[in-house]
């Protein structure tokens, strides 16, 4: 039996800004129609000083072993969505749908410090998340978030557009003026692969070495960023461009004009971003 103090502590965790952010974001993503059923997952690196105000790192509820070691993430704290949990329900049941984890010193397991009640497990895409975090941290020490979602129009576009990273990126850039400014490195594409495996995790992370958006054809998208807001905004921008593409290309005659290469170059110059040289 838990003592009252521990029960009260568990309640307080829900008020933590990072838990509130996860609750709001998953709900928004579900309302956008991106995360049907248990689709989608998020992992968010937490700073020790923001965690210890809410959970006691010495009070380990369970230790969950990893089948791939992540020594690079040793002793890091994360909040993650749970395997099989519905984004729709995170807001009303955060303690069951979310978990706060600490990677062990050896990097071969995670210690559950809060949440995932009822023997829940971290997201099935934990390999993709953890290996991608390692890749992004190599590029950006302020990196904190990996987000996976079934963004509808991005998925639709993988059925109709050529699955080539350069042409896919350029099409997205040309659908909305802000795109080249928001993701000047373009997107990366994987071949279709079975999700939830270490293989798709490694392939995603390889692409994350020099990009923050990786598309899984016929499945969804992975985004990376320094905050929940920035990562969500990145995916939202690509999804909006994909929506415009799907709407415009569905009309008779298809797309008659778009933003030209010269205009993309002008935008990059005006907003001081360096577009991927292989793409433009």
From the list 21, 125, 165, 239, the catalytic residue is: 125
Total residues interacting with Zn ion, rule: CB under 5 A: 1
Residues 96-135 that bind ligand 2HA (CB under 6 A): 123-125
Based on the number of CB atoms within 10 Å of its own CB, is 57 exposed (0-12), middle (13-18) or buried (19 or more)?
middle
Phi and psi based region of residue 89 (left: phi greater than 0; alpha: psi -120 to 50; beta: remaining): alpha
The smaller minimum CB distance to ligand 2HA, of residues 156 and 181, is found at: 156
Whose CA is closest to 56, among 19, 110, 111? 111
* Binding partner of residue 123 among Zn ion, ligand 2HA, none, CB cut-off 5 to 8 Å per kind: ligand 2HA
Total residues interacting with ligand 2HA, rule: CB under 6 A: 9
Q: Say whether residue 38 binds ligand 2HA (CB under 6 A).
A: yes
Residues 199-218 that bind ligand 2HA (CB under 6 A): none
The smaller minimum CB distance to ligand 2HA, of residues 191 and 254, is found at: 191
H-assigned helices in 176-215: 179-182, 198-208
Residues 225-264 that bind ligand 2HA (CB under 6 A): none
Q: Are 101 and 112 in contact (CB under 8 A)?
A: yes
Cβ-Cβ contacts under 8 Å for 252 (sequence gap 6 or more)? none
Based on the number of CB atoms within 10 Å of its own CB, is 262 exposed (0-12), middle (13-18) or buried (19 or more)?
exposed
Interface residue with ligand 2HA among 26, 41, 43, 169 (CB under 6 A) is: 41
What kind and span of H or E run contains 65? strand 62-65
CB of 59 to ligand 2HA, least distance (A): 28
Interface residue with ligand 2HA among 24, 32, 39, 233 (CB under 6 A) is: 39
CB of 88 to Zn ion, least distance (A): 15
* Binding partner of residue 204 among ligand 2HA, Zn ion, none, CB cut-off 5 to 8 Å per kind: none
Residues 148-187 that bind ligand 2HA (CB under 6 A): 148
Judge whether 239 counts as a catalytic residue: no
Q: Are 101 and 78 in contact (CB under 8 A)?
A: yes
CA trace torsion 93, 95, 97, 98 (10° rounding): 140
Q: Which residues are catalytic?
A: 125
Q: Where on the chain is the footprint of ligand 2HA (CB under 6 A)?
A: 38-41, 123-125, 148, 195
């Amino acid at each position: 039996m838990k003592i009252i103090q521990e029960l009260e502590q568990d309640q307080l965790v829900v008020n933590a800004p990072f838990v509130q952010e996860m609750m709001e974001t998953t709900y928004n993503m579900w309302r956008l129609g991106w995360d049907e059923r248990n689709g989608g997952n998020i992992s968010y690196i937490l700073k020790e000083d923001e965690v210890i105000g809410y959970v006691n790192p010495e009070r380990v509820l369970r230790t969950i072993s990893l089948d791939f070691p992540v020594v690079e993430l040793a002793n890091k704290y994360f909040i993650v969505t749970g395997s099989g949990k519905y984004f729709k329900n995170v807001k009303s049941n955060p303690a069951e749908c979310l978990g706060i984890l600490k990677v062990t010193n050896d990097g071969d397991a995670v210690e559950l410090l809060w949440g995932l009640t009822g023997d829940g497990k971290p997201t099935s895409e934990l390999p993709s998340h953890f290996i991608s975090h390692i890749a992004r941290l190599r590029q950006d020490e302020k990196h904190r978030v990996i987000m996976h979602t079934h963004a509808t129009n991005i998925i639709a576009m993988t059925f109709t557009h050529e699955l080539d990273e350069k042409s896919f990126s350029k099409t997205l850039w040309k659908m909305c003026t802000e795109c080249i400014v928001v993701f000047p490195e373009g997107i990366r594409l994987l071949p279709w692969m079975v999700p939830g495996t270490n293989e798709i995790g490694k392939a995603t992370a390889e692409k994350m070495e020099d990009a923050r958006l990786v598309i899984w054809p016929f499945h969804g998208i992975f985004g990376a960023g320094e905050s929940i807001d920035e990562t969500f905004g990145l995916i939202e921008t690509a999804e909006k461009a994909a929506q415009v593409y799907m709407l415009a290309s569905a009309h008779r005659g298809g797309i008659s004009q778009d933003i030209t290469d010269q205009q993309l170059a002008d935008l990059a110059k005006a907003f001081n971003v360096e577009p991927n040289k292989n793409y433009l």
